[in-house]
Amino acid sequence: MELEQEVLDLVGVAQAGAPGEALELLAGIAQVGQAMVDSALAPGGPWASAQDRVELVKGAQEALGALHAAQTAWIARFAALTLVENDTTGCEQVDRGVGFVDEFASDTLAPLLGMSHGAASTKVVRAAKLAADLPLTLAALATGELDLFRAQCIAEELADADHDVCALVEQMVHPQITGDTPMKARNRVRTALAKIDPDLVRERAARAKLDRFVSTRASHLPGLTQWYAQLPAEDSAKAWAAIDTLAHQKLNDDPTKTLDQHRADALVDLILGNATIEAHVTIAIPITPQADAGGASGTGAAFGITDQEDDRDQGDGRDQGEPTGETEPTGELEPGTLEQLWAVLSPHTPTGTGVEIPGIGVIPAPLALALAGTLGARVTRMLVDSRTGTTIETSAPTYRPTTAIARHVRLRDGTCRFPNCARRAERCEIDHITPWPAGPTTVTNLLCLCKHHHRLKHSTRWRPALHADGTVIWTSPYGEEFITKPIDHTALAIA
């Protein structure tokens, strides 16, 4: 009875909703979970029977479901807050109600949850949908009948359905959907939606063609890359037929390879047979700034490379031919320098040193240089601090960074510098931390931000501080600090 009363007391605290008490309650739950982990993994622990273990797995699922449902509700409540300008205080925070999603809500949550910006945005949107339009699904999550992934699948399938349509779909699919796998759950929702609102399904199919894409990312296997594509079904069928037909021809000629290997080769052959490729390789050369900054005694001088480059206008608003007067840490190498460069560097290059290709992954340095030679690549050198791996200072007297400075900042940052954002630097905007002319156009006052996080910096109370070593410390509107690091160009290696 004492335990039952304690549980009822905890339920009362949770229902009261006082933030301080609720946080204490969650901290207590976390401690209980940690203690149970230690107990479960202890040799000869108390959970001896199979029945005990199954019941504990089930109980943990119910507890996780309840906490996931609670977090979903709190995310939806947070996302409903937005800043609105007024005539007295300048701006105020307004609660737009569950279902509204503020543009920058996910940016606060992403680093807290250890998620990328895209994943956090998806989580926020689905949370708002579950809390506003899918009460039966959220309740099933809270009782452990649905896990978070399946609940989110349901929310995704009904993302553009209005509240009334969602209610009718839920009535059709619950409670049977709680026993479905994720794919079966999706199909059940799609079938119900097609019966209730066929026009919406047709509109969705028409819009879906606009969402076609091809993307790549580094594989978990060294030296490999994963490709992802979303294409209209008719185009996909034709493309697959072309790949499969060519792969079977290759299999007849060379049966030592698998059909999957030949399909991969066929894809590459079909793409490269219809494309002209240009490459631009940037080679990082570590130097000690005090000794080498002038290029007289450093590694750059060994190749006849100086730090001066006449950087002509390339879209930065200056007149053609206007000199920059800046120190330039990256310069194009003369034709044939690849062989000379590798002949000098290879005896001093650690085994496993790799070259990173953005969006592709890391490949061995000799292979990268050979590939660059085959493609007739433009090759530039980048002088980096041998102690930190970051690039060397460059400056300009104008608002718009010169091409050299822009390249410098992008090479230093690698990606958008907001926490957990992986948008590549070449697709980002370069922003003054302290607005120009109060802040200079130097790499110590510039950082790469994607368009979304550029707006966030100017529209919210997020504040970045860029330090001399390239580290950026972001302070959120709620006082949390998050650190992002520059790319360490000396740390690339084959995993």
Could you tell me the sign of the dihedral formed by the alpha carbons of 107, 113, 117, 123, in that order? Answer: negative
Residue 416 has pLDDT above 90, yes or no: yes
Q: What is the pLDDT of residue 265?
A: 92
Task: Specify the 3-state DSSP secondary structure of 398.
Answer: coil
What value does the mean pLDDT of the chain take?
Answer: 77
pLDDT confidence band for 447 (50 / 70 / 90) = very high
Residue 352 has pLDDT above 80, yes or no: no
Record the pTM.
0.65
If phi > 0 it is left, if psi is from -120 to 50 it is alpha, else beta; for residue 471 that is beta
Residue 191 has pLDDT above 90, yes or no: yes
d(CA 329, CA 300) in angstroms, rounded, equals 10
- Token output for 167: 């209610």
d(CA 227, CA 210) in angstroms, rounded, equals 19
**Section 95-102 average pLDDT:** 93
For the stretch 302-309, contacts whose Cβ atoms lie closer than 8 Å and that sit 24 or more positions apart, written own/partner, are 302/344, 303/333, 303/337, 303/340, 303/341, 303/344, 303/381, 304/334, 305/331, 305/333, 305/381, 306/331, 307/331, 307/383, 309/404
Q: Are strands 441-442 and 395-396 parallel, antiparallel or unpaired?
A: antiparallel
pLDDT in tens, 248-297: 999 998 989 999 999 999 998 898 887 666 656 666 666 665 544 333 33
